[in-house]
């Protein structure tokens, strides 16, 4: 087994061990009816969760919102929770980048971001925008940045989880954080500096270590809640997460199982299989020995400090989730591959489909109409 396949199986194992099980009444002999039952149960539970309340262009509708949920969908359950820029750096590195000192990784990512910003300006992208605003625009259109897309609408995330790859299970992530952190996010007072480079270029100054642990750049995750600047962001209710590369040294507090044959967390044994958590619960498989992740292993799983909890077993328990000292906590549910086609049909009937997610010109007109209406109020 080649190294990328080993790492991918390790990531799948990590998330499968802590994914939340969706309990629902299973209709007899009908995958389509079963998909409907699954969707209805997920919808009912998530409807009770606090989410970020905003208007059609991303402006908050309520003050003092706290502990809200954002969502993200992966079409493949074995994908890591990492940014596109981080993945490219991992792929381009000739050695094990994730095991390096976090400051070295940060330096490489920052240099790539500065090069990207300079190139964008040369071709006329981001004029009049801050560096952060430009990065959000580039990220939402597929450019590699350290930002991770999330949405306030779980159905949009589910669309991405079942958009394609019908031969693989997908994964729906639920991320809890405090939107109030956005108002505390450091902002450079110099307008020229804001346009030139992201605030984390000098994270030792702007995110000082004398503050609490969850505010340090290398141990925190921040929601980026800028107003929507693009029709696609409007359609996808798109926001972002940003944070430094996890700086935890040595062993982390997160655990994963060891292979029963070789006693390794990342193994090459051909007969070691990753099972959905529901299977391990209902079939009462023997408990496996677990050990704490090494910091470099965590950096293979996520490119920013998020505690992916294993404390809950079922989605219906999600309201009990606690962040404790972490700036963000994450859970996920498996999207069975046999449901994907039916889930796309359900979402389409609810107005979530390819044309709504990737909108045509009408959404641009809607954005401009809002801008004019707001200016006339002044």
| pLDDT band at residue 363 under the 50/70/90 scheme | low
Q: Identify the three-state secondary structure at position 139.
A: helix
Residue 159 has pLDDT above 90, yes or no: yes
- Percent of the chain's residues with pLDDT above 90: 44
The string of DSSP codes covering 168-208 is S-EEEEEEEE-THHHHHS---S-HHHHHHS-GGGGHHHHS-
Alpha-carbon distance of 313 to 305, in angstroms, equals 22
**pTM, entire model:** 0.89
Total domains in the fold of the chain: 1
Contacts of 260 (CB under 8 A, 6+ apart): 272, 288, 289
Measured between alpha carbons, how far is 244 from 296 in angstroms, rounded to an integer?
A: 14
Report pLDDT for 368.
Answer: 59
Exposed/middle/buried for 150, CB within 10 Å: 0-12, 13-18, 19+? Answer: buried
Q: For residue 210, name the pLDDT band (cuts at 50, 70, 90).
A: very low
Read off φ and ψ for residue 288, nearest 5 degrees. Answer: -100, 150
pLDDT at 241 > cutoff 50: yes
**How many C-alpha atoms does 370 have within 13 Å on its Cβ side?**
17
Looking at per-residue pLDDT, the higher value among 275 and 197 belongs to 197
- Cα angle 342, 343, 345 (rounded to 5 degrees) comes to 65
Q: Which domain holds residue 369?
A: 3-377
Any idea what DSSP says for residue 289? P
Q: Which two tokens stand for residue 281?
A: 């619960």
pLDDT at 10 exceeding the cut of 80: yes
């Amino acid at each position: 087994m080649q190294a990328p396949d080993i790492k991918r199986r390790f990531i799948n194992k990590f998330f499968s061990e802590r994914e939340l099980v969706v309990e629902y009444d299973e209709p007899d002999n009908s995958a389509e009816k079963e998909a409907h039952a699954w969707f209805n149960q997920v919808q009912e539970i998530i409807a009770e969760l606090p989410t970020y309340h905003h208007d059609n262009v991303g402006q908050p509708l309520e003050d003092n919102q706290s502990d809200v949920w954002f969502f993200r969908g992966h079409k493949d359950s074995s994908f890591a929770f990492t940014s596109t820029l981080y993945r490219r750096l991992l792929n381009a590195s000739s050695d094990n980048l994730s095991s390096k000192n976090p400051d070295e990784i940060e330096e490489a990512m920052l240099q790539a971001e500065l090069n990207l910003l300079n190139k964008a300006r040369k071709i006329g992208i981001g004029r009049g925008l801050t560096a952060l605003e430009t990065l959000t625009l580039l990220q939402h259109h597929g450019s590699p940045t350290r930002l991770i897309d999330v949405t306030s609408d779980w159905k949009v995330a589910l669309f991405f989880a079942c958009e394609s790859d019908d031969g693989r299970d997908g994964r729906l992530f639920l991320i809890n954080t405090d939107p109030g952190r956005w108002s505390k996010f450091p902002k450079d007072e110099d307008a020229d500096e804001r346009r030139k480079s992201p605030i984390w270029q000098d994270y030792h100054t702007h995110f000082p270590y004398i503050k609490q642990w969850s505010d340090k750049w290398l141990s925190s995750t921040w929601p980026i809640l800028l107003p929507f600047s693009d029709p696609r962001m409007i359609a996808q209710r798109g926001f972002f997460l940003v944070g430094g590369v996890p700086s935890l040294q040595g062993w982390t507090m997160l655990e994963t199982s060891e292979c029963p044959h070789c006693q390794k967390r990342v193994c090459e044994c051909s007969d070691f299989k990753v099972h959905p958590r529901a299977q391990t619960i209902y079939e009462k498989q023997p408990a496996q020995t677990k050990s704490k992740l090494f910091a470099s292993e965590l950096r293979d799983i996520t490119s920013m400090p998020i505690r992916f909890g294993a404390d809950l077993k079922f989605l219906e328990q999600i309201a009990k989730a606690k962040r404790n000292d972490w700036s963000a906590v994450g859970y996920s549910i498996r999207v069975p591959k046999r449901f994907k086609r039916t889930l796309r049909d359900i979402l389409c009937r609810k107005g979530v489909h390819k044309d709504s997610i990737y909108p045509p010109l009408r959404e641009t007109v809607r954005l401009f109409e809002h801008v004019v209406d707001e200016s006339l109020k002044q």
